[in-house]
Amino acid sequence: MKIRYALAALAVSGLLASTGCGDGADSGTGAPSGVTGTVTVFAAASLTESFTTIGRDFETAHPGSKVVFSFAGSSALAAQINEGAPADVFASAAPANMKIVTDAGNGAGAAVTFVKNQLVIAVPEGNPKGVKGLADLTGPGLKVAFCAEQVPCGAAASKALDAAGVDVTPVTLEQDVKSALSKVRLGEVDAALVYRTDAKASAADIDGIEFPESAGAVNEYPITVLKNAPNPAGAQEFVAYVRSDQGRAVLTAAGFQAP
């Protein structure tokens, strides 16, 4: 039941290709824009691999620029921003955490959804416990990791479990999706609910088990320039680059869905 990533990526790619950017999203085309200096991006942990690639591409397209990332759970990043942490861009794994920032007056404008993501059940390669769906997570002796409910992956997990009518008691609640996934990789748990993109990034030693209830718990990822951005021009250009053809190609390859 390993996810057929290649087919999924092709399908998503077609969706993205047919979706117009709007709002000037194609301005980050790689043409020199005069943007220089450091662009500090606070981003959800599930964006680690794709944003790291986008950051390198952005630096190549904008000589003299440097992108510095802080990856963590969206709820923790929102709290840091509202406490005054200097950052130019915030990319959240759910609108609720973005709303915490914008309601505090720390967004420079309307946040825009740039991708979607949904959950899978992460198990060790080969699926030794034979997990096929959420109901199997209630099995005797099965150890499961979830994200904490204030974290977007935790909120999505709770919604999916409610939809399935399944009650699972996790042995640990993690503060971001990478931490939940690492519990599986280290053999500390038998399964975890993580994003499809995170399971794909660890496909060498993790199997991702699809389950139907995840379709009703899809997370939207909004991004915005922050009000007190130290490098507002760089922030605007980075957001545009994320939404450009180049940025969308990276996100598609990572397994993200069209907004």
Q: CB neighbours (10 Å) of residue 194?
A: 32
Number of H helices, E strands in the chain: 9, 10
Average pLDDT, the chain: 89
**Mean predicted confidence (pLDDT) in 194-201:** 96
Taking 50 as the threshold, does the pLDDT of residue 5 lie above it? no
Give residue for tokens 């996100």: 251
pLDDT score for 108: 95
pLDDT score for 14: 35
pLDDT score for 19: 31
pLDDT score for 33: 61
| CB contact at 8 A, 47 and 90 | no
With cut-offs at 50, 70 and 90, classify the pLDDT of residue 11: very low
**Mean predicted confidence (pLDDT) in 103-115:** 96
Closest CA to 80 of 146, 154, 71: 71
Closest CA to 109 of 258, 229, 192: 229
With cut-offs at 50, 70 and 90, classify the pLDDT of residue 28: very low
pLDDT score for 255: 96
- pTM for the full model? 0.85
Q: What are the structural domains, with CATH classification, of the chain?
A: 23-115+220-254 (3.40.190.10), 119-216 (3.40.190.10)
pLDDT digits (tens, 9 = 90+) for 124-172: 999 999 999 999 999 999 999 999 999 999 999 999 999 999 999 999 9
